Structures are given as structure tokens and as C-alpha cells.
Structure 1
Amino acid sequence: MPGIGSDSFHFSFSLCVLGETGVGKSQLVACTLPDPPRELDSGDSLADHGIRTRAHTYESRGARYQILMWEVPGAPRYMEMAPRYVAMAAGLVLVFDRSRRATFDRVSLWLKAADSSSPDLPKVLIGNKSDKTEEVSSAEANLIAQQIGCPYFETTATENLKVADAFSTLIAQVIARIPNPPEPSLLLRKRVQIGKQLADNKAFRAALFDM
């Protein structure tokens, strides 16, 4: 995002967004950005594999977080690649299209792929396109969410309805897992990195030295 540099945040982490093609993942991620979506020029292998990465900034209780949204394409071949990216993420977003039952039925496959590398990752389930003719009921989706142990949200990304609620809930879960004090090795276990804003803080460095 314009104006957001590596020295302006305290922590950084990634969220991995999974789901079938056409469920609205790109639009959901775009809704989290205050400015028009900007694809990161990261210079790494993500772009080579078709993984779209976008930056989001979130502030809570005086701390600023850089959040990278990793959107994995929904084509079948990407399901095999999903564990690689989930393994580097701090949270997981599972998306299906409420107007297409087949996308709901395959949520379990995306979850299985994610769980193969990260079974205990904080997650949310999103039923998108709630403005369309419903093929998946709220009761069905809530039951699945209960079974996999995560909150469920029904969104309409084209109108930005309930999208912020879903992502904010997941982000809050990730932040709640950040250890206090944020010792670097403990942070890495939660897949959270220290930003320059915190690393350059003299009091923080002194606290780490005293550990």
C-alpha cells in the first residue's frame, strides 16, 4: 500500500485465502484494502506460481500490523501447492460460493490440504455471494464451521457486506496468539515477524536482552 514501509509497523504476518475458482476470493481481499488493490512486487516465486499477494494494514491498541493476503488460485493443481503457503501463514480463510453447492462440498478438500501442514491454524469459513440464489443454507454451513472449530460468516463481497467482520475476527485471533513479551523465537512459532517499528524500540531491545 502506498506510504506503508517496513519501518512503519510493529508486527507482520500472512493470511492464506483458499477456495474454488470463482468463489470471490479476489473481491473479498480487495474489500479489506482502503485503497485500490495493489499487487506486491515482491520479486519472489509467488508470482511465478500464480499466487496473488496483497498488503493490508491493521491497527489495534496502539500497534500497527502489516498483513499479507496470499490468495491461492482455485484450480485443482493449486490444491497440492496450498500446504506450502499455509505452512508460512498465521491464519486461514476458507471461502465457498453459497450459490454453488459444489464449491461448498470441496471446502473439506481445501481444509485437508491446509491441515496437512498446519492443523491448528486460526481460521474462518466464509460463504460468499449471499445475494445470489441460495444452494447452501446457513444451517449447513454453520454445522461445518462448528465441526472444524471456526467462526462462519456470510458475505457479499461485491457490496462489501460482512467482509470486514470476517477478516477482523481472524486477525484478532492471530493477534491474540502473539506472546507477551514478543520474544522472536516464540513469534516465529506463531508465524509472526517483528517489524522495524518494534525492533528499533530501545525499551523492547532492552527487554529482550534481559530475558
Structure 2
Amino acid sequence: MDSASSSTASPVPTAPEIASTFKILLVGDSNVGKSSILLRFTDDHFLPPEDTSATIGVDFKVKMYDLDGKRYKLTLWDTAGQERFRTLTSSYYRGAQGVILVYDVSSRESFEHLDNWVEELNTYCSNDDVVKMVVGNKIDKEAERQVSRKDGADYARRHQTLFLECSAKTKIGVQQAMEELVNKIVETPSLWRKQLPSKGTVSVDETVTSSGFGANGCAC
């Protein structure tokens, strides 16, 4: 017998089974950098503001996240910040396990508008235990800062949310913010330990592609 034919082929490694799928929203005013945070986290890439355009409606990306030997599928939704899209994006709160409320540390106005986003979240989000995080973006613009870290931390404390500052431009804090949010979701089984869809059932989250929801990687 030919020695080559008698050898046993090495098994092809298989990807870990997906333990659960998490739906995470990024909300906040236009131009605070929601899309830039998303692009940095999923693709480790940053587009200068002059090369981007505002998100129209909702943009959507998927990223796998491994924790303690388990793999989780993150469906990340980047919502438009403009007022005219608010009635469209409100429906995307349903079923979310995590919501990141983003403001620009160099824009006091975007920070003051967080109250509006918190109110919208509380109105439309169907999960009482949803994990919330306040994120101050653009800390690379320290010379133009209008919102102190203490202001952001105090706001998060009042609303009982996680808090972190980051810079999508320099990468500082982006990975940490996402990891803290996802870890907290994993620690909250009531959010995701539900009966899986029947075989053959496809959820909206798994069929939508980013090409159907506006421009990828914008700085809104």
C-alpha cells in the first residue's frame, strides 16, 4: 500500500460554536464619532472626518468575540444622530442587550443632549436589564475639551451606567469600552439566555448587511 494513501489526514479545525448573539446599539448626536468607534472596533481602521458622510438610518456590522472559551456574535448597530431619523431608529432598540451612548468631549452640546438619548432608550428598549454605557469620544482633542472626565463619570453614576472615555482616532479606550460592555452582558444571563429560534427561522439581525443601511465608517 502506498504510504501516502495510508496516512491519516489532519482534521480541519472548526470554529467554536456561537454561544449567543448580542445586539448592541450606538446612539448619540451626529458627529460625535459613533461610526468611527464602530469602524475602529470591527476593522481597526479610522477615516478622517473629511472622508466620511453622515449615517442615513442605521448601519450594521458583525464581529465575533471570544470570552472564556466561548464565542459570541456581536451585531453592532450604528444609528443616525439627526433628528429626522429618530422615528426610524427607535425601532432598533427592541431586543438590544447593550446600548452605548456616545458624546464628544469637545462638544458640551452633545453631552447635554444625552438626556434625550437616555429618555429615548428608556422609552423604546424592551429589555429592562439592558446594559448601558456612556462613552466620551475624541479625547485626542484635549485642547478643545468642553466636558471633563469627572462630568462624564458623574453623569454615568447618576444614570447607573458604565463609563469610559476613548478616541476612535488613536484607538485609546475603544477595545476596552466594547469589552467591558460585552463582559457585563455575559454576566447578565437574563438578557440572552432565551430559547433559540426554531430550526429554519432566521432573525432580522442575521440577514441584514451593512450595505443596506447607509454609509459605512462615517463620523456621525
Report the TM-score range of the alignment, normalised by the length of the smaller protein: 0.7 to 0.9
- Matched with 1:81 is 88
Higher relative contact order (CA 8 A, sep 6+): 2
Identify the residue that residue 208 of structure 1 maps to in structure 2: none
Counterpart of 1:148 (choices 159, 181, 184) is 159
Code of the aligned partner of 2:112: D
How many positions carry a matched residue from both structures? 172
Q: Which has the larger radius of gyration?
A: 2
RMSD: 2.7
C-alpha distance after superposition, 1:102-133 (max 9, x if no partner): 11111110111011022541011000011211
Structure 1 match to 2:212 = none
- Letter of the structure 1 residue corresponding to residue 164 of structure 2: F
CA separation in 2, counterparts of 1:51 and 1:30?
A: 14
Aligned mates of 1:131, 1:36 — CA distance in 2: 16
Q: Distance in 2 between matches of 1:169 and 1:175?
A: 10
**Alignment deviations for residues 23-66 of structure 1 (CA, whole Å, 9 cap, x no partner):** 011110112125669xxxxxxxxxxx621000111001111111
> Deviation string for 1:68-103 (max 9, x for gaps)?
110001101233334311112110000000001111
1:36/1:28 CA distance change after superposition, 3 Å: closer
Q: Quick check: 1:124 aligned with 2:133?
A: yes
Q: Aligned pair in 2 of structure 1 residues 131, 69: CA closer, same or farther (>3 Å)?
A: same
Q: What's the counterpart of residue 164 of structure 1? A: 175
Say yes or no: does 1:31 pair with 2:12.
Answer: no
Check the 8 A contact 2:105/2:111 in 1, yes or no.
Answer: yes
CA distance in 1, matches of 2:194, 2:120: 26
Q: Identify the residue that residue 11 of structure 2 maps to in structure 1.
A: none
Identity of matched residues, %: 24
Whole-angstrom CA distance in 2 between matches of 1:89 and 1:34: 22
TM-score (norm 1): 0.73
Runs of 4+ in structure 1 deviating by more than 4 angstroms, as ranges, are 34-37
How far apart are the structure 1 equivalents of 2:132 and 2:105? 18
Do the aligned partners of 1:79 and 1:113 also contact (CA within 8 Å) in 2? no
Letter in 2 for 1:100: S
Q: Aligned residue for 1:9?
A: 18
Measure the CA separation in 2 of the matches of 1:36 and 1:97.
19
Q: Which amino acid aligns with 1:106?
A: H
Question: Given the superposition, is the C-alpha separation of residues 135 and 84 from structure 1 closer, same or farther in structure 2, using an over 3 Å criterion?
Answer: same
Question: How far apart in 2 are the matches of 1:183 and 1:25?
Answer: 24
Distance 1:101 1:15 in 2: 25
C-alpha spacing 1:94/1:156, structure 2 compared with 1 (3 Å): same
Residue 183 of structure 1 and its aligned partner are, at CA, apart by: 9.2
Return the TM-score normalized by structure 2: 0.70
* Residue in 2 that maps onto 1:112: 119
> Partner of 2:136: helix, strand, or coil?
strand
Q: Give 5+ residue unaligned stretches, structure 2.
A: 1-14, 47-55, 204-220
> Does the Cα contact within 8 Å between 1:93 and 1:125 map onto a contact in 2?
yes
Letter in 1 for 2:170: E
Letter in 1 for 2:113: R
Structure 1 residue 185: deviation in Å? 3.6
SS at match of 1:116: helix
